[in-house]
Amino acid sequence: MSDLPEPVPAATLVLMRPASGGSAPELLIMERAATMAFAAGALVFPGGRIEPGDEAAAAAFPDIPDAAARIAAIRETIEETGVAAALSPAADAATAASLREGLAGGAPFAALVEDAGLRFDLAALTPFARWCPNFRETRRFDTLFFLAEAPGGGPGSADAGEAVRTFWASAAGVLAEVDSGRAQIIFPTRRNLERLALFASIEEARADAARHPVATITPWVEERGGRPHVCIPEDSGYPITSEPLETARRR
């Protein structure tokens, strides 16, 4: 019997927006506070655990099996960055701020959305990946990753309780920051950034997601070239599928 803790169901939202001049699309990234129990100080996509309120709201979408995860991804992104995606009609900056304030006060997300005259547009989220590492960490998450097009409006701002900053950057740009030693990320984030760096648009990313049905990725360790490597399946859509253990845990 494994002595690992049960994974916490979670969801992450990868927001993409076109960049000026035909450059690679930009992603919404946040830097977690150094005081956080999980991935402290790391660059991550917004996201978090699936709450009971998300499960309750998902009852309105019986034909979408992962509706609770999609709602959680939308909610967490608002809480952590102030960016309100996948709502219809599109929320302006003032409405997004009001939703964020209501969530901070403990109001049910679904009620806040309804009171604002909005509805969830869950079809705007594309399932992209699912990761459930089995390494012993302070917390262990079973995380669904979704793609969505970034809404217009403000650039977002960090929730001071969880993050020190939010910013927009290309996947390659984030990886360059990490490789220079100016930032750090965890293994799943790096692999997803490497995959996202392949795409010139969200349409390309969505097409790639359609070619690789989402299956749970659980990395494992094996010897390669006399060194332990952390590995993932070769057929899961990722351009790099292994990394030496000494750099994989945090880089």
Share of the chain above pLDDT 90, in %: 75
CA gap 72, 76 in Å, rounded: 6
Task: Tell me which residue range forms the domain holding 23.
Answer: 8-248
Is 210 inside any structural domain?
yes
Q: What are phi and psi of 96, to 5 degrees?
A: -60, -40
- Residue 136 near residue 7 (C-beta atoms within 8 A): no
Q: Which residues of the chain have pLDDT under 70?
A: 1-3, 33-40, 136-138, 153-156, 158-161, 249-251
Q: Which residue has the tokens 């917390």?
A: 139
What DSSP assignment string belongs to 155-214? -----TTTEEEEEEEEHHHHHHHHHTTS----HHHHHHHHHHTT-SSHHHHHHHHHHS--
What DSSP assignment string belongs to 21-80? GG-PPEEEEEEEPTT-SSSTT-EE-SEEEPPHHHHHHHTT-TT-TTHHHHHHHHHHHHHH
Is 211 inside any structural domain?
yes
- Specify the pLDDT at position 160: 60
Is 1 inside any structural domain?
no
- Specify the pLDDT at position 158: 64
CA gap 126, 235 in Å, rounded: 19
- Specify the pLDDT at position 1: 39
Q: Which residue has the tokens 């009620």?
A: 111
**How many C-beta neighbours within 10 Å does residue 49 have?**
15
Taking only the tens place, the pLDDT of each residue in 139-167 is 789 999 999 999 975 566 766 667 778 89
Q: For the domain that residue 107 is a member of, what is the CATH number? A: 3.90.79.10
Instruction: Give SS3 for 119.
Output: strand
Is 113 inside any structural domain?
yes
Taking only the tens place, the pLDDT of each residue in 116-131 is 999 999 999 999 999 9
- Specify the pLDDT at position 168: 93
Is 96 inside any structural domain?
yes
- Specify the pLDDT at position 228: 94
What's the number of domains the chain is made of?
1
